[in-house]
Amino acid sequence: MTAVAIPARDAMISEPTLGAAKLAEYARLKHRRKIRERLIKAALLLAACVSVLTTLGIVYILLKESLDFFSHVPLWDFLTDRQWTPLFDDAHFGIMVLLSGTISSSLVALLIALPLGTTIAIYLCEFAGHKTREVMKPLLELLSGVPTIIYGYFALLFVTPMIQKIYPALPGFNVLSAGIVMGIMIIPYVSSLAEDAMRAVPMSLREGSYALGATRYQTAVRVVVPAALSGIAAAYILGISRAVGETMILAVAAGMQPNLTLNPLEPAATVTSYIVQVALGDLPHGSVGYQTIFAAGLMLMLLTLFFNLVGYWMRRQFREAY
């Protein structure tokens, strides 16, 4: 129909074209359109691949520089040495020292973030009215929007002096106040993910519980939380990997001196704050000191990867199907 109608109309406006030529023209246009579509699709695919390339780039750089590093420093020393003095003449590379700082600061942060985050999630999901939730959720999310450098400043100049009033022996740089502030920063990550998980629990479970005469608290703790366990575990894992990767709060408020201790009342360097410390000085490209930050970065990546895998495993293990 159209193939006949279009040449007829064209014949009235311009010089008469043969139907076959017109059809060929349309075929050409269609072909061009197809090619253009294919090009666009290729460009979009390329954009999607940037993220894969990023990962490959990270893995490549970390492995390359770390391999160089481990050709100078035996892996066994790296894992077992009890000193971390990479920039001294008598260089020691015991990652344990930095890991102890990371572990103690993360523990302090998680002791704050996990209980508070879970409580807030339960409250917002099971107790709070619609209006409270609409106001409080964005307000809490602002907590994770504050730049970490400002939290560092806050920990150093507000929280530490406050704790010093109660416990005067606390040094100016310490893991405790950095950890506390870090924990408060992590609360929204934990609470909003955990709340999403609890919200996904079907209403019928809650209704069943209420029908048996349970209170909101009983319903939350005995029905909703167990049913949402896999999601809550995922929220915890996210919180942990945030804590492990946090940098600036620790670099500003925890001091940057390597210290093999789990005592949060002392200053300590973490894996992340060590990287910052080295980057602030100017180490020549290719020196062992330069390579240490990549070895430290590799350690950090392995830690986060480990937690991601644990999270994945937990999600599968505790998944409740409805």
Partner 1 sequence: MQPAIHDAATLRQQQLRRIIRSHKRRDIAFGVLGLLAMMVGVLTLAALFTGMAIDGIPRLSGDFFTSFPSRRAGQAGILSAWVGSILVMGVTALFAVPVGVAGAVYLEEYAQKNWFTDVIEINITNLAGVPSIVYGLLALGMFVYTFGLGQSILTAGLTLGLLILPIVIVTTRESLRAIPQQVREGAYACGATRWQVVHDHLLPYGTPGILTGVIIALSRAIGETAPIITIGALTFIAFLPPLPFSGDPPAGVFDWLFSPFTVMPIQIFNWTSRPDPAFQQNAAAASFVLIFMTLGMNALAIWLRYRLRKNIKW
Q: Which of residues 61-90 bind partner 1 (CB under 8 A)?
A: 61-62, 64-65
Closest Cα partner for 220 from 197, 238, 237? Answer: 197
Question: What Rg do the C-alpha atoms of the chain give, in angstroms?
Answer: 29
- The pattern of x and - marking residues 223 through 262 that bind partner 1 according to CB under 8 A reads ---------------x--x--xxxxx--xx----------
Q: Per DSSP, what are the bridge partners of residue 84? A: 93
Stretch that binds partner 1, among 11-19, 75-83, 202-210, 296-304 (CB under 8 A): 296-304
83 or 196: whose CB is closer to partner 1?
Answer: 196
Which of 76, 282, 284, 321 is close enough to bind partner 1 by CB under 8 A?
282
The residue type found at 133 is R
Q: Is 302 in the site for partner 1 (CB under 8 A)?
A: no
14 or 281: whose CB is closer to partner 1?
Answer: 281
Q: Dihedral angle at the C-alpha atoms of 290, 246, 196, 50, nearest 10 degrees?
A: -20
Burial class from Cβ neighbours inside 10 Å (0-12, 13-18, 19+) for residue 166 reads exposed
The residue type found at 164 is Q
- The count of chain residues that interact with partner 1, using the rule CB under 8 A, is 83
Which of 29, 35, 44, 75 is close enough to bind partner 1 by CB under 8 A?
44
As measured in angstroms, the least distance from the Cβ of 110 to partner 1 is: 15
Which of 98, 109, 124, 182 is close enough to bind partner 1 by CB under 8 A?
124
167 or 217: whose CB is closer to partner 1?
Answer: 217
The residue type found at 125 is C
Alpha-carbon distance values, 308 to 114, 115, 235, 239, 301 (Å): 17, 21, 11, 11, 10
Stretch that binds partner 1, among 58-66, 77-85, 194-202, 225-233 (CB under 8 A): 58-66
Stretch that binds partner 1, among 9-17, 56-64, 81-89, 204-212 (CB under 8 A): 56-64
Helices 175-199, 95-122: crossing angle, 10 deg rounding: 40
Which of 100, 104, 106, 148 is close enough to bind partner 1 by CB under 8 A?
148
Residues 168-207 that bind partner 1 (CB under 8 A): 181, 184, 187-188
73 or 242: whose CB is closer to partner 1?
Answer: 242
Which of 98, 120, 175, 269 is close enough to bind partner 1 by CB under 8 A?
120
Q: Is 217 helix (H, G, I), strand (E, B) or coil?
A: helix
Q: What is the DSSP string of 112-170?
A: HHHHHHHHHHHIIIIIS-HHHHHHHHHHHHHHHHS-HHHHHHHIIIIIHHHHHHH-TT-
Q: Is 287 in the site for partner 1 (CB under 8 A)?
A: no
Which of 17, 71, 80, 218 is close enough to bind partner 1 by CB under 8 A?
218
